[in-house]
Amino acid sequence: MARLKVIACDVMRRELEEIAPRSPNELDILYLSREGYHNEPDKNRPLLQSYIDSVPEGCDAILLCFAFCNRLLDGIRAGHTRLVIPRAHDCITFFMGSRERYREYFSGHPGTYYYTAGWLERRGGEQLNQAQSVSNALGLPQSYEEMVETYGEENAQYLMEFFGGWKQHYRDGILIDFPFAEALNLRDQVQAICRENGWQYGEISGDLSLLERFIGGDWNEDFLIVPPGRSIRATYDERVMEVSEIGAHSPSSDDGAIAIKI
């Protein structure tokens, strides 16, 4: 049995709590809110680093249950304890079981917005929040009525269409379904979202095998292992990320792609 500290995005809370009792290892899980870490990675990267640095010695590994969303992990450093991270561009990989399955589905279904239990519970209004944060930064009125009063009806309509334009990039809403989430009424929620946005609704079965191997200590090339004193850097290819010397700008030959089972 290994002692593992898990620092995870809270979007994965239900899935991790479903599989954690089956792990052969001793897990200490800390959940962090996705909103700040995804939307403001440069601001919150030092905070994530501080959580890593505060883990006391004695753990066999610190597991970071984050994808490489918005380059949040770029430059994160292992201190006295090695880090382990799934190689994933975004968290949908975690819910679909592998990069390969996600890539195949993504290629065959462009314009798809994916929903999970954690996403609906914690990030359901993120697009609206992002639009509001942009309008706040520009000093724009927050309601349609205020925009009409300030800029006139035609300009107000343009602004509302601009801030709602993200919807035009999608045509399908897909629920990644898990049996343990049946009682949460997710299907009705996603169907309602699809009707509102004019999208087609669909479902696919989720797969937690990647996360199970992650917390089980069965780490192969699907995971990056960062030795103490080394840091993470982006690769912008199918590897997603690699190990780099602290402060180095060239790729390291030690990318952690070694099969390890604890």
Residue pointed to by tokens 């792609």: 257
CA dist 234 and 243 (Å) reads 9
8 Å CB contact between 232 and 85? yes
How far is C-alpha 245 from the geometric centre of its chain's CA atoms? Answer: 25
**pLDDT (tens digit, 9 = 90+) per residue, 52-102?**
999 999 999 999 999 987 789 999 999 999 999 999 988 899 999 999 999
Query: Mean pLDDT, to the nearest integer, of 198-224?
Result: 97
Can you list the alpha helix ranges (DSSP code H) found in the chain? 13-19, 34-39, 41-54, 92-96, 99-108, 117-123, 126-138, 144-151, 153-163, 186-197, 209-216
Question: HSE (CB half, 13 Å, CA atoms) of 249?
Answer: 0
Report the interhelical angle of 153-163 vs 126-138 (nearest 10°).
Answer: 130
Nearest to 90 by CA among 75, 112, 60: 112
Torsion from C-alpha of 207, 210, 215, 219, nearest 10 degrees: 160
Q: What is the pLDDT of residue 76?
A: 96
Amino acid at 122: R
**pLDDT (tens digit, 9 = 90+) per residue, 6-57?**
999 999 999 999 999 999 999 999 999 866 666 678 888 999 999 999 999 9
Q: How far is CA 59 from CA 1, 81, 217, in A?
A: 11, 7, 13
pLDDT band at 125 (very low <50, low <70, confident <90, very high): very low
Return the domain boundaries, the chain.
3-93+209-261, 99-205
8 Å CB contact between 157 and 151? no
Computed over every residue of the chain, the mean pLDDT equals 83
Beta bridge partners of 83: 62, 226
How far is C-alpha 148 from the geometric centre of its chain's CA atoms? Answer: 37
Give the helix/strand (H/E) hosting 3. strand 3-9
Angle at 118 between CA 44 and CA 108, to 5 degrees: 100
Flag whether pLDDT at 260 surpasses 60.
no
